[in-house]
Chains A and B, each alone.
Chain A
Amino acid sequence: EAGVTQSPTHLIKTRGQQVTLRCSPISGHTSVYWYQQALGLGLQFLLWYDEGEERNRGNFPPRFSGRQFPNYSSELNVNALELEDSALYLCASSLRGGGQYFGAGTRLSVL
């Protein structure tokens, strides 16, 4: 069974640009979560989608947004990139209320 897959694995962008990250959950999982793992800040919750709806979001500005598609895959969009957005972005999926399983992440570098 395939795990959570994320693309791309690495991205380099410049300040002010926009980026889209993608995530495919484990088959049968309806919930998708996005986390940011920045150096020195640990893992911080960004967004939670379930059944196509945004259910909760962490303490991040509105330029972090996303969506979930009918096949439960998800996109994370970050607009107006700032240097401090450089981080590993992790996607996790779960059955509603179950344990979360993580993908390998997308490493974003903002120059």
Chain B
Amino acid sequence: AQSVSQHNHHVILSEAASLELGCNYSYGGTVNLFWYVQYPGQHLQLLLKYFSGDPLVKGIKGFEAEFIKSKFSFNLRKPSVQWSDTAEYFCAVKTNQAGTALIFGKGTTLSVSS
């Protein structure tokens, strides 16, 4: 069965530190890839998505992610985090085999201290 792994359950950073959140998936075919963010008390928001083309995807709020097909990875990055980036981040994959359902990772909680 397809699955999505997010390596870090909880990441703690100081403001201005660089961020990289890992995401790996298990599926050999064509995938669409997504990162969602859930700020405290708010609903899930789409941060960025990859469907095809340039594997380096830029999203909102200065986030970017790189699709590395050979590593089945789609890591999320931000050069300099802010306190307002404190949130839970979910990686999700859509495969043809699963129809158009999203398969989510378990999420990574990011805490940024000012």
Q: Footprint of B on A, CB under 8 Å?
A: 31, 33, 35, 42-45, 48, 50, 55-56, 58, 90, 92, 94, 96-97, 99-105
Task: Give B1 Cβ to nearest chain A Cβ, in Å.
Answer: 9
Whether A99 lies near B100 (C-beta < 8 A) is no
Name 4 extra pairs, CB < 8 A, besides A42-B107, A45-B101, A103-B43. Answer: A45-B98, A48-B100, A56-B100, A102-B45
B104 touches A56 (CB 8 A): no
A50 to B99, CA, bound (A): 12
A99 to chain B, nearest CB (A): 5
- Is B103 in contact with chain A by the CB < 8 A criterion? yes
Judge whether A42 and B100 touch: CB under 8 Å. no
List residues of B whose CB falls within 8 A of some A CB: 34, 36, 42-46, 49, 90, 92, 98-107
Assuming A99-B34, A99-B49, A102-B36, is B43 touching A45 (CB within 8 A)? no
What's the least CB distance linking B49 to chain A, in Å?
5
Query: Of A45, A96, A97, which contacts B103 at CB under 8 A?
Result: A45
Contact of A42 (CB < 8 Å), options: B43, B49, B99, B106: B106
Which are the 6 A-B pairs with shortest beta-carbon distances? A56-B99, A43-B104, A102-B44, A45-B101, A104-B43, A42-B106
